[in-house]
A and B are shown apart, each in its own frame.
Chain A
């Protein structure tokens, strides 16, 4: 089955700085990679996703890059704000389900 590794597990940045979270996956057949943001006590919310026919996708302050050869993808958040503080999960599809990374707890320090 798929193995999705996510790093780092915790990340603290100053407000206004950038944050980068990285994930690797093992199944070369995976072709869809979403990122979810989960605030305390809430369900995960999709923030951005990328498909394997694209190398990079951007949505305002959030971007995702994908390297299919190396089997890794990254989330980039620029100009971080305190409301970006949350747990972020990457995921990769394989077979009939998604495999989630172990999560990154991001803290943005005002």
Chain B
């Protein structure tokens, strides 16, 4: 089945230690998104790629970076995680930017 896969599902890191989360898709969608979701809140968009074009949200901290080496994969790099970065990180894909988004299962990040 075509799907959005996120690895790992759970990630524990230490304060200030860089961490990378990964997302892959078999949907062959042009657009890939990264969202941050804190407890009992709506997903908050961090950035998205349309093909190789990177679009950063204005309020996304510089601590968050992303890479998309090919159509199928997208990575979220957190350079120096703080306690406030503990959250669920969701990857999503869509054919077009304003079209239906399909979410992966998420990666739960814990910062010690």
The 8 A CB mask of B94-112 against A (1 = contact, 0 = none) is 0001111111111010000
Number of B interface residues in the complex (CB < 8 A): 23
Cross-chain contact of B103 among A44, A97, A101 (Cβ < 8 A)? A44
- Is B90's CB under 8 angstroms from A93's CB? no
Please report whether the interface of chain A is mostly helix, strand, loop or mixed according to DSSP: strand
Q: For chain A, which range describes its interface: under 10, 10 to 19, 20 to 34, or 35 or more residues?
A: 20 to 34
**B75-102: which residues lie under 8 A (CB-CB) from chain A?**
90, 92, 97-102
Contacts of A34 in B (CB 8 A): 100-101
Please report whether the interface of chain B is mostly helix, strand, loop or mixed according to DSSP: loop
- Is A98's CB under 8 angstroms from B101's CB? yes
- Is B55's CB under 8 angstroms from A103's CB? no
The 8 A CB mask of B45-72 against A (1 = contact, 0 = none) is 1001000000101000000000000000
Contacts of B18 in A (CB 8 A): none
Contacts of A61 in B (CB 8 A): none
A96 within 8 A of B: yes
In this complex, the member of B6, B45, B92, B98 whose beta carbon has the largest number of chain A beta carbons within 10 angstroms is B98
**Shortest CB distance A56–B (Å):** 18
B16 within 8 A of A: no
- Is B99's CB under 8 angstroms from A43's CB? no
**Shortest CB distance A37–B (Å):** 11
A110 within 8 A of B: no
A44 to B103, CA, bound (A): 6
Cross-chain contact of B42 among A41, A42, A103 (Cβ < 8 A)? A103
Shortest 10 CB-CB distances between A and B: which pairs?
A43-B103, A100-B42, A93-B98, A43-B106, A43-B105, A44-B103, A96-B97, A43-B104, A97-B45, A43-B90
A residues within 8 Å of B by Cβ?
31-32, 34, 36, 41-46, 49, 89, 93, 96-98, 100-103
Known: A32-B99, A42-B105, A98-B45. 15 other contacts (CB 8 A): A31-B98, A32-B100, A43-B6, A43-B92, A43-B104, A43-B105, A43-B106, A46-B100, A89-B42, A93-B98, A96-B97, A102-B41, A102-B42, A103-B40, A103-B42
